[in-house]
Amino acid sequence: MATGTPTNGPGDAALSSDSGTEEVRLEQFQYDDGIVRLFATATIVWGIVATLVGLIVAVLLVLPSITGGLPWFSFARLRPLHTNAAIFAFAGNGIFAAVYYSTQRLCKARMWSDVLSRMHFWGWQLVIVSAAITLPLGITQSREYAELEWPIDILIAVVWLFIFGGNFLMTLIKRRERHMYVALWFYIATIVTVALLHVFNNLVIPAGWFKGYSIYAGVQDAFMQWWYGHNAVAFFLTTPFLGLMYYFLPKAAERPVFSYKLSIIHFWSLVFIYIWAGPHHLHYTALPEWASTIGMLFSLMLWMPSWGGMINGLLTLRGAWHKVAADPVLKFFVVGVTFYGMSTFEGPMLSIKSINAFTHYTDWTIAHVHAGALGWNGFMVFGMLYWMLPRLFQTKMWSEKLVSLHFWTGTIGILLYIIPIYAAGLMQGWMWRAMDDTGHLMYPDFIETTQSIVPLWWLRVVGGVLYVSGMLMLGLNAMMTWMGRPAEYENPVHTAPRLSKSYVDHTPTPTSPIDDAPVLELGKKVSIWSQMGWHRRWERLPVRFTVFTTIAVVVATLFEVIPTFLIRSNVPTIATVKPYTPLELAGRHIFVSEGCYNCHSQMIRPIVSETKRYGEYSKPGEFIYDRPFQWGSRRIGPDLAREGGKQSSFWHWTHFENPENVSPGSVMPAYGHLLTEDMNYDAIAPHVKVAAYLGAEYTEEDLNNTAEVAYKQAEYIAADIVAQGGPAKAYEKQAIALIAYLQRVGVDLFATEEPAATEEPAAPEAVEGEEAETTEEVADGDFTPEASSEDAAAK
Amino acid sequence: MIRDLVSALDYSMFAELALALFVVAFATMTYGTLRLSKNASDRFASIPLSDDVEDPRP
């Protein structure tokens, strides 16, 4: 190794070719640490933002009125912002910092294209900023971790697959180290699978620049979303971090990985199994039983490879435990890997149907994901950053004591966060299903179950404050370290021969130990094949390795997807279930925009306590027009699957105005803006057109005079509200559409089919009589149809 | 045609089939991995420890 600048620029440069053969051609190159510095800085900045927003949403749960009803800062809009920031901004940039640092070293090559590296960085930051703007504005798909709307999704696909993936794969192809180390395999699996998940989960038909409707509906949408959602955990929050672990842990411990063989088994088992596990998020829902069983079975099996990885990580420290006591970097890694072990033990347990029935929708899930995110992802990133920062900034860490303080603050913060939330989950689970001797619910008012866990939510705020303080310590330490950097970074030049295109494997041709035995030739061939020389070859061929990784993932996916999508019987239709009216569709759009799924599920499971509390359990055929599905994953408020007709329209109006007026002790914020902001009836048409395009049956009137049809329904609901003592002209406001939707949810199952039209038309008198009756009701409500017609015409 | 083919399948067997598929893949990979020589395994495990190219390569 030499130090200096290569004569042919910052990238690769041929040094000599004296013999004229490729094998001995020497090349000079430098690693691009500038891009790593950018990603590392972004990781810290977005880490602070993500955890701060997390703290804010934790506070909003205990003090729901603190923002004074500002829609952009409501819990349901900020919570997705927090998860997106934590996953894609903090963990994402951390992953990229790890990939760009380790890939170059493992490949002994600079990244293939500096331009693509920079495009990747700025493109990804553009995605994050777009998310930070659109989510608080209510522009969302309301599908967990896939909230961003289609223009941003396209940007993500381009940045991830073509810019990042292309640059990475080309670097692998142009590498100078023959063997691809296992960390690179995990990066390959990450890039391929995330691209696959992202593209297929986000196939939508646009209804404008800020709205797209999923091509999947109901059960199929739920299946696709959790295939995506669980594998986002698998291939965004697990595999890249395992790659990170396999590179940075040996580096920090100065020990080779404990067992390379175990890492191979770990890799293939994980890649093969993880993709099947998503359906465990849908136990006892309308998902077919066989898919749910596969999800549980494979989730349970995941425990083994996950622990294989954990054990491999911890045992890498074998003989170096004395260093752990002194080195905070190793402490971060040890706690991070331990949390990985805990989370991957807990995950399979939670996938067992009977356990899942208890924990699903409770805060237990929240504790589980935070144990993984704060402990595993957070601490692995911190460990990596504290190891890298002195090397990237080429100076000592500003304060080692602050690193140590961050470690302890973060650890205590995590514990103070998760322990109360586990307790909250347990309390919810028990209270929701508790029944007295007479078979009645002991806590029939849902609000009781929420209020009882509020003190535990306060403890979480304290834990969150500690974790955020740790993040701020990291930020301060990194900034001060950066300020102490040299005037000019040293940029070592490495010299190495390029890899020859035709590799001659000098290992002897494999022979079978049963060559001389009197067995079939086939047996001898199998014996040679089982020596896995073919796999050693794959490990030298990045394109082929990528293809086989893709096949492993796709095969498992197809196993579940094909039957789910091709068999009509998986989603039996119900004759009385009809498409939403234009106004209801607009109301559903508001429901989705406001992120109501963050607190309210729409899925009653066939569990006694749930049917007693909410009503008849949900059927698959009820959701065939639901794009996106809104089954939710957590209940801060009660389930809404049978909400239609339960409360009066005025009750809903009052509930939006101030939930405490009708539900004392509610932790739901006021949605006053829905009562003051006007409804844009002309904007409904594109939604109806897309719904019709996707198969919902609408009349010509619905399609051509959408605004008028919606307005007419709004007038009736507004009149109803007036009749109940509510304000006049409610039909002008957005709340009216949301009320129309809520009054429709779950009622179709019990609707009676309209009798077939008789041959003789109804007597005109009878029709007039009906109209007169309706008019009378409207007049009672201080509402004249003449006036409404004029208004409709005006609009 | 694929619709007819899939219609004919018994879904209750899918979980078991998936399990069998995994067991075969896992057993193959484990067996092969255990046959990897210690020399190669140690060499591969040490790759991240050095950022410099070893030349001549082993």
The pLDDT tens digits of the residues spanning B6-56 come to: 666 666 677 777 778 878 888 888 887 787 778 888 888 888 888 766 554
Asked if B19's CB is within 8 angstroms of A532's CB, the reply is: no
CA distance A550 to A486: 44
Count A/B contacts: CB-CB distance under 8 Å.
123
Asked whether residue B53 is domain-assigned, the answer is no
Query: Would you call B48 an interface residue with chain A, using a CB distance cutoff of 8 Å?
Result: yes
pLDDT of residue A380: 98
Instruction: Tell me which of B43, B44, B54, B55 to substitute to probe the interface with A (most A C-beta atoms closer than 10 Å).
Output: B44
Residues in chain A with CB shorter than 8 Å from the CB of B30 are 265
B18: nearest CB among A256, A289, A298: A298
Query: Would you call B24 an interface residue with chain A, using a CB distance cutoff of 8 Å?
Result: no
CA distance A406 to A389: 15
Residue of A nearest to B26 (CA): A269
pLDDT of residue A13: 55
Name which of A70-84, A89-103, A229-243, A763-777 the model is least confident about.
Answer: A763-777
Q: Which residue has better confidence, A440 or A505?
A: A440
Asked whether residue B17 is domain-assigned, the answer is yes
CA distance A687 to A536: 54
Asked if B52's CB is within 8 angstroms of A494's CB, the reply is: yes
Q: What percent of chain A is modeled with pLDDT above 70?
A: 88
How close A402 gets to chain B, by Cα (Å)? 27
- pLDDT per position as a tens digit, A474-502: 999 999 999 999 999 999 998 888 877 66
Asked whether residue B38 is domain-assigned, the answer is yes
CA distance A666 to A146: 28
How close A447 gets to chain B, by Cα (Å)? 39
A297: nearest CB among B19, B51, B55: B19
| Placement of tokens 């041709």 in the chain | A509
Q: What 3-state DSSP class applies to A304?
A: helix
Q: Is residue A141 scored above 70 in pLDDT? A: yes
CA A613 to chain centre: 29
Residue of B nearest to A267 (CA): B29
The reported pTM is: 0.88
CA distance A282 to A294: 11
How close A534 gets to chain B, by Cα (Å)? 10
Asked whether residue B9 is domain-assigned, the answer is yes
pLDDT band at B3 (very low <50, low <70, confident <90, very high): low
Cβ atoms A25, A16 nearer than 8 A: yes
Residues in chain A with CB shorter than 8 Å from the CB of B57 are 178
Q: Is residue A457 scored above 80 in pLDDT? A: yes
CA distance A746 to A764: 34
pLDDT band at A413 (very low <50, low <70, confident <90, very high): very high
Asked if B31's CB is within 8 angstroms of A256's CB, the reply is: no
Phi and psi for A165 in degrees, rounded to 5? -60, -45
B47: nearest CB among A177, A269, A494: A177
Query: Is the torsion defined by CA of A725, A727, A729, A733 positive or negative?
Result: negative
Asked whether residue B52 is domain-assigned, the answer is no
As a whole number, mean pLDDT of residues A368-394 equals: 97
Asked whether residue B50 is domain-assigned, the answer is no
ipTM above threshold 0.90: no
Asked if A290's CB is within 8 angstroms of B11's CB, the reply is: yes
How close A406 gets to chain B, by Cα (Å)? 27
pLDDT band at A596 (very low <50, low <70, confident <90, very high): very high
pLDDT of residue A790: 39
pLDDT of residue A597: 95
Residues in chain B with CB shorter than 8 Å from the CB of A555 are 21
How close B10 gets to chain A, by Cα (Å)? 10
| Placement of tokens 């599905």 in the chain | A629
- pLDDT per position as a tens digit, A569-590: 667 789 999 999 999 999 999 9
Q: A26: which strand partners? A: A16, A497
Q: How far from each other are the two terminal CA atoms of chain A, in whole angstroms?
A: 76
pLDDT of residue A99: 98
Residues in chain A with CB shorter than 8 Å from the CB of B38 are none
How close B40 gets to chain A, by Cα (Å)? 9
Q: Is residue A665 scored above 60 in pLDDT? A: yes
Helices (DSSP H) in A237-288: which residue ranges?
A: 239-253, 260-274
Residues in chain A with CB shorter than 8 Å from the CB of B17 are 559
Asked whether residue B51 is domain-assigned, the answer is no
Instruction: Indicate the number of domains in chain B.
Output: 1
How close B28 gets to chain A, by Cα (Å)? 8
Query: Would you call B29 an interface residue with chain A, using a CB distance cutoff of 8 Å?
Result: yes
B35: nearest CB among A259, A532, A559: A532
Angle CA A311–A316–A318, to nearest 5? 100
pLDDT of residue A110: 96
Mention every residue, 6+ apart, whose C-beta is less than 8 A from residue B40.
A536
Residues in chain A with CB shorter than 8 Å from the CB of B23 are none
Asked whether residue B54 is domain-assigned, the answer is no
Residue A659: closest CA among A717, A600, A724: A600
Asked if B14's CB is within 8 angstroms of A294's CB, the reply is: yes
Q: Which two tokens stand for residue A730?
A: 């409610």
CA distance A645 to A739: 10
pLDDT of residue A312: 94
CA distance A511 to A791: 88
- Provide the residue range defining the domain that includes B39: 1-45
CA distance A557 to A555: 5
Conformation bin of residue A204: beta by default, left when phi > 0, alpha when psi is -120 to 50: beta
What distance separates the 2 farthest-apart alpha carbons in chain B? 59
Residues in chain A with CB shorter than 8 Å from the CB of B7 are 566-567
Query: Would you call B38 an interface residue with chain A, using a CB distance cutoff of 8 Å?
Result: no
CA distance A620 to A624: 8
Query: Would you call B2 an interface residue with chain A, using a CB distance cutoff of 8 Å?
Result: yes
Residues in chain A with CB shorter than 8 Å from the CB of B31 are 530
B48: nearest CB among A250, A291, A566: A250
pLDDT band at A733 (very low <50, low <70, confident <90, very high): very high
pLDDT of residue A495: 86
CA distance B31 to A529: 11
| Placement of tokens 């999923």 in the chain | A214
- pLDDT per position as a tens digit, A598-651: 999 999 999 999 999 999 999 989 999 999 999 999 999 999 999 999 999 999
Residue of A nearest to B46 (CA): A256
As a whole number, mean pLDDT of residues A42-48 equals: 98
What is the full DSSP assignment across A506-556?
Answer: -SPPP--TTTTSS--HHHHHHHHHTTTHHHHHHTT-HHHHHHHHHHHHHHH
Buried-state track A69-102, b at ≥16 Cβ within 10 A, e below 16: eebebbbbbbbbbbbbbbbbbbbbbbbbbbbbbb
Query: Would you call B5 an interface residue with chain A, using a CB distance cutoff of 8 Å?
Result: no
Name which of A69-83, A386-400, A579-593, A748-762 the model is least confident about.
Answer: A748-762
Residues in chain A with CB shorter than 8 Å from the CB of B55 are 496-497
Bond before B56 cis per omega within 30 degrees: yes
B35: nearest CB among A182, A273, A531: A531
Q: Is residue A764 scored above 50 in pLDDT? A: no
Query: Would you call B44 an interface residue with chain A, using a CB distance cutoff of 8 Å?
Result: yes
Q: What 3-state DSSP class applies to A435?
A: strand
pLDDT band at A516 (very low <50, low <70, confident <90, very high): confident
Q: What percent of chain A is modeled with pLDDT above 90?
A: 73
| Placement of tokens 């998860």 in the chain | A83
How close B30 gets to chain A, by Cα (Å)? 6
CA distance A85 to A378: 13
Residues in chain B with CB shorter than 8 Å from the CB of A297 are 15, 18-19
